[in-house]
Amino acid sequence: MINLEFCNKYGEEERREIVHEFADLNLRNRKKVDDLDAWCEDYLGKIDSKFKSYRAVVEATPDELERIKDSLDKKTYIQLITDKLYDDVIDDDGNRIMESPGSLYKKRGNSYVIDTLYKNMRPEAKKLLLKMLDTRVCPYCNRNYVFSRENVTTCQLDHFYSKSRYTILAASFYNLIPCCSTCNMKKKDAIFKINPHDTSNKTDDILRFSYDISNADYLVNSDSIDVKAESLDSRYADQLSVLELNDIYKMHNIDVHDVLVKRKIFSEQYIDMLRHAFPGVFQTTTSVEELLYGITLIDNEMGKRPLTKLIRDVMKQI
């Protein structure tokens, strides 16, 4: 899991303003927002006064989204809302005691929040979202490019908290994760515990790659190299399993092979020589290594190039 650049690039106040603008663009002139406000005040507001309006849900931070999710998971009256997402809740006398987000706004059986605010998100809102998140590589696998520029989008938007179970969060800014189609397909409705938007979780504390060598011919035979992905955080273990990253990364033994060969060829002395030979190009030996290995060695920029986490860990092991 790689943190999204958005939280590294902008300060807290800037992020708040950007998310507020996103909400403005997507919610303006929407006919059902007043109904959503009423639902939030009646049900979420009783749990936490901060969430008395739907806008507050759209702008909720990763920590706040988790609070909402945990509240909806509790086996209390609120559970009726999530269990009957597309039906009204009826009491023992047959009286309707509440309308869920699904039934209140359903059109042909689907939710207003999903069908209108998410699937038909205002183009300018989606454009702002993708521009500000500026995701280059899938944060779930760190393998595939997911560029989004102007009218060209190569990413899919995953709902960190499933839109089918947590419908009210379907159009929340921090619940939307630009990712590759492979990870989105594998994740489906699985609930992950570490949000790429939450930079309090450092990638190096969550995941570590390593390799074993089974034969002395590893410099000419990549099949002699076995790549391993290890979860360092119990919260990440399920995510590693769901995405099948351990199996997938075993296929990147050729990339590990390339790193081992380069480390054999390009000694520290050679790298230092290149830095001094091209002072206008290389400011440090680190910048030489970044060019040689095609990655960034800056901790909070692992999401800029594919396989950066893998290659960095291999270099550390060497």
Long-range (24+ apart) CB contacts under 8 A made by 286-295 are 289/315, 292/262, 292/266, 293/259, 293/262
**pLDDT reported for residue 313:** 96
State yes or no: pLDDT of 199 exceeds 50.
yes
**Could you tell me the pLDDT band of residue 108, with boundaries at 50, 70 and 90?**
very low
**Could you tell me the pLDDT band of residue 149, with boundaries at 50, 70 and 90?**
low
For 125-134, what is each residue's pLDDT tens digit? 999 999 999 8
**pLDDT reported for residue 301:** 85
State yes or no: pLDDT of 70 exceeds 90.
no
**pLDDT reported for residue 220:** 93
State yes or no: pLDDT of 65 exceeds 50.
yes
Tell me the average pLDDT across 73-99.
Answer: 51
Tell me the average pLDDT across 275-303.
Answer: 90
State yes or no: pLDDT of 93 exceeds 90.
no
State yes or no: pLDDT of 69 exceeds 60.
yes
**Could you tell me the pLDDT band of residue 107, with boundaries at 50, 70 and 90?**
very low
CA angle at 73 for the pair 72 and 76, rounded to the nearest 5°? 80
**pLDDT reported for residue 76:** 46
> Contact 78/71 with Cβ under 8 angstroms?
yes
State yes or no: pLDDT of 226 exceeds 60.
yes
Out of 24-33, 77-86, 206-215, least confident range: 77-86
Q: What are the backbone angles phi and psi of residue 139, rounded to the nearest 5°? A: -70, -20
Q: How far apart are CA 98 and CA 281, in angstroms?
A: 65
pTM of the model: 0.85
CA angle at 109 for the pair 104 and 110, rounded to the nearest 5°? 75
Tell me the average pLDDT across 25-43.
Answer: 89
Out of 87-96, 163-172, 252-261, least confident range: 87-96
For the chain, percent of residues with pLDDT exceeding 90: 65
State yes or no: pLDDT of 254 exceeds 60.
yes
**Could you tell me the pLDDT band of residue 265, with boundaries at 50, 70 and 90?**
very high
- Across the strands, what pairs with 229? 209
| CA distances from residue 234 to 67, 192, 198, 206, 288 in whole angstroms, order as listed | 20, 12, 17, 9, 36
State yes or no: pLDDT of 29 exceeds 80.
yes
Tell me the average pLDDT across 82-110.
Answer: 48
3-state SS assignment for residue 77: helix
**pLDDT reported for residue 119:** 93
Tell me the average pLDDT across 36-61.
Answer: 88
Q: 227-263 burial by CB neighbour count: b if 16+ within 10 A, else e? A: bebebebeebeebbebbebeebbeebbebbbbbbeeb
For the chain, percent of residues with pLDDT exceeding 70: 87
Domain ranges of the chain: 5-187, 203-317
State yes or no: pLDDT of 89 exceeds 70.
no
**Could you tell me the pLDDT band of residue 151, with boundaries at 50, 70 and 90?**
low
